[in-house]
């Protein structure tokens, strides 16, 4: 085995930039500097590449290119979807989401409740992190204008059945937005078949540099622009295009499309190997989320009696980058809102660690992680006042 110094297993936070993406972007930092809105050849050449990038994003989702709007990030896409919908549909005042959304959705809903007078329903989940669809259906009233439910959870990887959820929204005449930032590129999404009106994605969860995203707006959806100014993006998002990053996002979508099936099988096998390897060696460990209905790259494991932060520090010292399911918000000792909504017991919610893989994760790295994590857990437990080795 070669010497492994750095194992990156935090791909749900951000991903390594793909070399192919960088290569595609480079000319747009140099000779291809024209403004795509310009009438001359400098602009025209660049506009052709922006068109191609839009086609590549659209192809990954099986939609038409005119339905794709480039944004600055996943957070902007979510904000645009939610706030743009409400601005264009001002008569209804009820909006519905879930307790386990990313802050890019959840905090927008909470702002709208607090500052804009919206009546907000936040749907809960069961212990596996699943929604109750009967409850969801009952929550949609004639006053409901928007439903926002994520496609896959960033912390646990749990996937929601957006096909069934979208069908319920359609039936009730409610606009349906999905934050698919964690799903795009990891699982196939065919929006010709899925009843989704608005879908947010982010480049850096898909191997581009940070700072580019896109919003899918199904043709005919009533939505106001988020940025007002020039005529870019068919008047839906003003501002001169971030051309190099748009090109990068197009390339990343093309790469995802070309490898989605084989890569996902490979990554799923590695994730399962990691999970089995850890669970078989470590007692009092629990998988958070729904193990059957989950992104192929994610595992979130709760280790009882110890603190996630301590585990992460020790793993980091051993060269392994993972993430805590109980990220302390500004020094408070609250576990993550996702694990709280799932009513994960405190004793292991605090000791939860998310490992998230990518197409760049190797089997060697997983073997190293399987070997490295158990002694770290044991060492921390030996120091823990809550741990009794005889139980
Ligand atoms: C990362 C993430 C976002 C935010 O995307 P940015 O591009 O970082 O703004 C939104 N939703 C989910 C589920 C995410 O994982």
Domain ranges, ordered by start, for the chain: 7-15+261-382, 19-255
**pLDDT single digits (tens) 133-157:** 999 999 999 999 999 999 999 999 9
Whether residue 96 has its Cβ less than 6 Å from ligand 1: no
On whether the CB atoms of residues 123 and 105 are closer than 8 A, the answer is: no
Whether residue 149 has its Cβ less than 6 Å from ligand 1: no
Q: Residue 316 above 80 pLDDT? A: yes
Q: Residue 358 corresponds to which tokens in the numbers above?
A: 């990518």
Catalytic residues: 328
User: Model's pTM, two decimal places?
Assistant: 0.96
Longest dimension (CA), the chain: 77
Burial 57-67 (b: 16+ CB within 10 A, else e): bbebbebeeeb
Sorted by sequence, the CB contacts under 8 Å of residue 83 that are 6+ apart come out as 108, 112, 224, 226
Whether residue 108 has its Cβ less than 6 Å from ligand 1: no
In CATH terms, is domain 19-255 a member of 3.40.50.1100?
no
**pLDDT single digits (tens) 35-75:** 999 999 999 999 999 999 999 999 999 999 999 999 999 99
Residue 32, CA distances (Å) to 24, 35, 146, 188, 245 in order: 12, 9, 41, 33, 13
> Cβ-count burial of 247 within 10 angstroms (0-12 exposed, 13-18 middle, 19+ buried)?
buried
Please report which confidence band the pLDDT of residue 326 belongs to, taking 50, 70 and 90 as the band edges: low
Rounded Cα distance between 269 and 85, Å, is 40
Closest-lying ligand 1 atom to the alpha carbon of residue 13: 1
How many other C-beta atoms are found inside a 10 Å radius of the C-beta of residue 362? 12
Q: Shortest CA distance to 266 belongs to which of 181, 369, 186?
A: 186
Classify domain 7-15+261-382 at the CATH topology level: 3.90.1150
């Amino acid at each position: 085995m070669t010497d492994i110094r750095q194992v990156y297993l935090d791909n749900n936070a951000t991903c390594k930039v793909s070399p192919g993406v960088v290569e595609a972007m480079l000319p747009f930092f140099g000779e291809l500097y024209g403004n795509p809105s310009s009438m001359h050849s400098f602009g025209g050449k660049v506009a052709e590449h922006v068109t191609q990038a839009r086609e590549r994003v659209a192809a990954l989702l099986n939609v038409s290119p005119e339905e794709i709007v480039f944004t600055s990030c996943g957070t902007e896409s979510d904000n645009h979807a939610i706030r743009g919908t409400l601005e264009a549909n001002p008569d209804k005042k009820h909006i519905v989401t879930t307790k386990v959304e990313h802050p890019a959705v959840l905090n927008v809903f909470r702002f709208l409740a607090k500052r804009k007078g919206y009546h907000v329903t936040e749907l809960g989940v069961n212990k596996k992190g699943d929604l109750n669809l009967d409850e969801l259906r009952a929550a949609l009233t004639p006053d409901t204008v928007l439903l926002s439910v994520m496609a896959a959870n960033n912390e646990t990887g749990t996937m929601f059945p957006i096909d069934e959820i979208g069908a319920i929204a359609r039936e009730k005449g409610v606009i349906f937005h999905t934050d698919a930032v964690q799903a795009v590129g990891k699982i196939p999404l065919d929006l010709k078949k899925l009843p989704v009106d608005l879908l947010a994605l982010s480049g850096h969860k898909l191997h581009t540099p940070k700072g580019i995203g896109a919003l899918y707006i199904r043709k005919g959806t009533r939505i106001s622009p988020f940025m007002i100014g020039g005529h870019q993006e068919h008047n839906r998002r003003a501002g001169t295009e971030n051309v190099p990053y748009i090109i990068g996002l197009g390339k990343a979508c093309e790469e995802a499309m070309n490898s989605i099936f084989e890569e996902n099988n490979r990554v799923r096998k590695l994730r399962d190997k990691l999970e089995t390897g850890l669970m078989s060696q470590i007692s009092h460990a629990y998988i958070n989320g729904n193990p059957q209905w989950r992104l192929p790259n994610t595992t979130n494991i709760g280790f009882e009696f110890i603190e996630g932060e301590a585990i992460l520090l020790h793993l980091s010292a051993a060269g392994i980058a993972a993430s805590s399911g109980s990220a302390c918000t500004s020094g408070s000792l609250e576990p993550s809102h996702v694990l709280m909504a799932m009513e994960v017991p405190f004793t292991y919610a605090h000791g939860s660690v998310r490992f998230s893989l990518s197409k760049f994760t190797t089997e060697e790295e997983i073997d190293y992680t399987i070997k490295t994590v158990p002694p770290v857990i044991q060492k921390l437990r030996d120091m823990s006042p809550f741990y009794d080795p005889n139980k």
